[in-house]
Structure 1
Amino acid sequence: MASSQCCENPPTLNPTCGQGCVEDIGGLKAYITGPSDSKLAVFLLSDIFGYEAPNLRKLADKITVAGFYVVVPDFLYRDPYNPNDPKRPIMEWLKDHGTDKGTEDAKAVVAALKSKGVSAIGAAGFCWGAKVVVELGKHSLVNAAVLCHPAWVTVDDIKEVKTHTAILGAETDHLSPPELVKQFEEALSAKAEVDSFVKIFPGVEHGWTTRYDVDDETAVKKAEEAHQDLLAWFTKYVK
């Protein structure tokens, strides 16, 4: 089940925001930023609001400073969730945007990155996207994974992960409450071959890493702290 928190604080989408450009990769449109000749890539998997969210693209641009080629694919096929459409509530929308389809598309993106010479890949997922990243991690398709306020991820999912994984959780999160995140941490800690980093951020709610108010200084600082943790994880394992 989706939580109302999935739909709160929707961003004002902007197809022209960011320092990069939109290109095709793996059969999808994607926001591309950073050095195109880099052998190290990171791709970001959006929440239900899609790849035109300004804060998500701003994060993509920020990640490039470490030398990463960053892609933000449109896994939603120009059909992000619209909270103002009463005829298509979130559960109806999700019928057309299952994470199983997202996983197949993500595999195609991984293959496309490798075909252009990328040697190491990191993937970060936000809410909806985090479930897809977990599926990639189960099959060692990426070198490092970051899950930000994940949705629909289970302890059994985490037990199958084979990729070094960081989980950034919120103190107030109906989809992945701290109690569940702690269980994720225990499951990861039991896997000697997998390194992990788990952190629960106090005073924030589900979605805080990308759906924050840019005019709220405290919210910005909390998001930036998470962004630094994300970047540190990729710097450590995507090399």
Structure 2
Amino acid sequence: MAGAQCCENPPVLSSVFGEGSVVESLGGLKAYTVGSPSSNAAVVLVSDIFGYEAPNLRKLADKVAAAGFLVVVPDFFYGDPYVPNPEKPLMTWLEDHGTDKGFEDAKSVIEYLKSKGITLIGAAGFCWGGKVVTELAKTDYVNAVVMLHPSLVKLDDINEIKRPTSILAAENDSITPLEIVKQFEEILCTRTEVDSFVKVFPGVAHGWTVRYGTDDEAAVEKAEEAHKDLLDWFEKYLK
């Protein structure tokens, strides 16, 4: 994950962007929430290193909520998302923001949602968040997961997955290269007890689903194609 692609195209963060609202504590974390609280199905979006205030991520949350889900985007970084800084390189920031802590926090959020009557839970993770939802996919905390241009995911992780998993990958990704994605797919093809879907998007790079220019028509189209695939997966398993 130390590759430069993780740090490319940092979003301009906005604490007020989106159609939803921010709650101060949801399972112990501050979170952006949108959608009907009476829904019995929720989707947890686990951000990339730039955190829960990224406008394109919140825009996606609003889109998923419009399909009938309660959507939660927790602040897994406790107000300290990654900010490109030569004096604090990414690897140093990651020492204080490990995916193991993200996994434990995600479980707390999901336990809170279940305590409120939510019976179906999906989780989608982007880059850093891809590893977090992979860990969730090894448990009974979720019904289905989607990884989008994931980072830090190993072959052994894929062997341990037990929940329906969709992987949406970039053709040009130095973080999780195409040959690794193909190995993920080969493993999942042998795991017939676990439904899976693997798709490689041609001509795009790591981060394309949430770090695209809204004025770039081609980039928006590719991102929206991935968003539709994400929604289709959750429509299949959470309804």
Which bin holds the TM-score, normalised by the shorter protein?
A: over 0.9
Q: What is aligned with 2:3?
A: 3
Report how far residue 66 of structure 1 moved. Answer: 1.6
What do the CA deviations read for 1:172-211 (whole angstroms, capped 9, x no partner)?
0011111111111111111121100100000000000000
Q: Write the deviation string for residues 29-53 of structure 1: whole angstroms up to 9, x where unpaired.
A: 0000000110000010000000000
TM-score, length basis structure 1: 0.98
Q: Could you list the per-position Cα deviations for residues 84-134 of structure 1 after superposition, in whole angstroms to 9, with x for gaps in the alignment?
A: x22211010000000010010001011011000000000000000010000
Query: Secondary structure of 1:138's partner?
Result: coil
The amino acid across from 1:44 in the alignment is L
Structure 1 residue 140, shift from structure 2 partner: 2.5
Structure 2, unpaired ranges of 5+: none
Residue type of the alignment partner of 1:27: G
Matched residue, 1:34: 35
Residues 37-79 of structure 1, C-alpha deviations (whole Å, 9 max, x = no match) = 1000001000000000000000000001221000000001000
Q: Which residue of 2 aligns with 1:237?
A: 237
Structure 1 residue ranges (4+ consecutive) displaced by more than 3 angstroms after TM superposition = none
1:79 equivalent in structure 2: 80
**2:94 — aligned with what?**
94
Specify the alignment match of 1:164 in structure 2: 164
- Listed as ranges, the matches of 1:50-129 within 5 Å are 50-83=51-84, 85-129=85-129
**Shift of residue 166, structure 1, vs aligned partner:** 0.2
Question: CA offset at residue 141 of structure 1?
Answer: 1.4
CA distance in 1, matches of 2:162, 2:2: 26
Query: For 2:221 and 2:140, how far apart are their aligned partners in 1?
Result: 32
Summarize the alignment of residues 190-229 of structure 1 with structure 2, pairs less than 5 Å apart.
190-229=190-229
1:140 aligns with 2:133: no
Instruction: Tell me the distance in 1 between the aligned counterparts of 2:186 and 2:92.
Output: 34
Q: Determine the C-alpha separation between the residues in 2 that align with 1:216 and 1:139.
A: 38
| Alpha-carbon distance between aligned partners in 1 of 2:140 and 2:171, rounded to the nearest angstrom | 29
Q: Give the AA of the match of 1:61.
A: D
Counterpart Cα distance in 1 of 2:4 and 2:28: 31
Paired AA for residue 93 in structure 2: W
Alignment-mate amino acid for residue 35 of structure 1: S
- Structure 1 residue 150 and structure 2 residue 155: aligned? no
Give, in whole Å, the separation in 1 of the partners of 2:169 and 2:235: 20
- CA distance in 2 between counterparts of 1:88 and 1:119 reads 41
- The aligned counterpart of 1:19 is 19
The count of corresponding residues between Structure 1 and Structure 2 is: 238
Question: Matches of 1:190 and 1:113 in 2, distance apart?
Answer: 33
Q: What letter corresponds to residue 48 of structure 2 in structure 1?
A: D
2:165 & 2:202 partners in 1: Cα distance? 20
The secondary structure found in structure 1 opposite 2:137 is helix
Partner Cα distance (1:228, 1:11) in 2: 22
In structure 2, give the amino acid aligned to 1:36.
P
Q: Which amino acid aligns with 1:48?
A: I
Work out the CA distance in 1 between the residues paired with 2:203 and 2:37.
38
Distance 2:114 2:146 in 1: 20
Q: Give the distance between the partners of 1:140 and 1:187, measured in 2 at CA.
A: 20
Alignment TM-score, normalising by the size of structure 2: 0.98
- Give per-residue Cα distances to partners, 1:132-157, cap 9 Å, x unaligned: 00001111310010000000101110
Q: How many Å separate the matches in 2 of 1:47 and 1:179?
A: 22
Structure-2 separation of matches of 1:2 and 1:238: 34
Q: Which runs of 5+ in 1 are unaligned?
A: none
